[in-house]
Amino acid sequence: MCFSLSKKFIIIILIIILLLSCIFALPSAFTSTPSQKYVVLIDAGHGGVDGGAVGRKTGKDENRLNLEYAFTLKEIFERFNIKVVMTRTNLNGLYGPFSVNKKKDDMAKRRDIINRSNANLVISIHMNSHPLSSPKGAQVFYKNEDPNSLGLATSIQKIFVQTLPNARAAPSIGDYYILNCTDIPGVIIECGYLSNPNDEALILTENYRQLICYSIFIGILKYLAI
């Protein structure tokens, strides 16, 4: 069953309250306009020939959705004077026109951007999929044996549980290149399952996109303010 309007309204109010409480508790680094103390790298997963997962009902591909969510998250951070670096800003992959192994070259390019970014955190945006239609909910993945990544993932996942429908109870270890290629703390965020009809319907709405991006934002601010 999809969210009713009343439930959406309650969640929006809750997230506004959480957002305001976090902002008022933040150190002056987040509110002083002249300086940008923190840098967040946002990676929109997939791109180009690698379209990622596909919506089971709508056929919408993950490549486009990841980019939409990444831009929304970027706008939120920049409103609060937090610098953002993005690995990609269009639907193309990060490989050259004559690349033989496009996936390998794409990931190497992302690694280089991350390691040159001077970022404090890496946030990689994805949409999940499963052969079965039953799995659902947003989840955060972190690098194994990295307490900073675990702390970041836990902070974001706690906000997800409070604000999002069907969010997983806890983050999970993720053995992924985008996390392992750098020493910068980072997480992969699976915003929901395109293979689940209810998740897919939510993912395609602006309300859900705003909710999950503000939830990520709040989780990161709470982590950085510790």
The DSSP annotation for 148-163 comes to HHHHHHHHHHHHHHHH
Return the CATH fold of 43-94+114-224.
Aminopeptidase (3.40.630)
Average pLDDT over residues 56-66: 96
Helix axes 206-224, 147-163, angle to 10 degrees: 140
What pLDDT shows up at residue 214?
A: 95
Please state the domain extents for the chain: 43-94+114-224
Residue-wise burial string across 91-109, b where 16 or more C-beta atoms lie within 10 A, e elsewhere:
eebbbeeebeebeebbbeb
Instruction: Give tens-digit pLDDT for 177-226.
Output: 999 999 999 999 999 999 999 999 999 999 999 999 999 999 999 998 84
Q: Is the pLDDT of residue 18 over 90?
A: no
Q: pLDDT tens digit string along 80-113?
A: 999 999 999 999 999 999 999 999 999 999 999 9
The string of pLDDT tens digits covering residues 117-174 is: 999 999 999 999 999 999 999 999 999 999 999 999 999 999 999 999 899 999 999 9
pTM of the model as a whole: 0.87
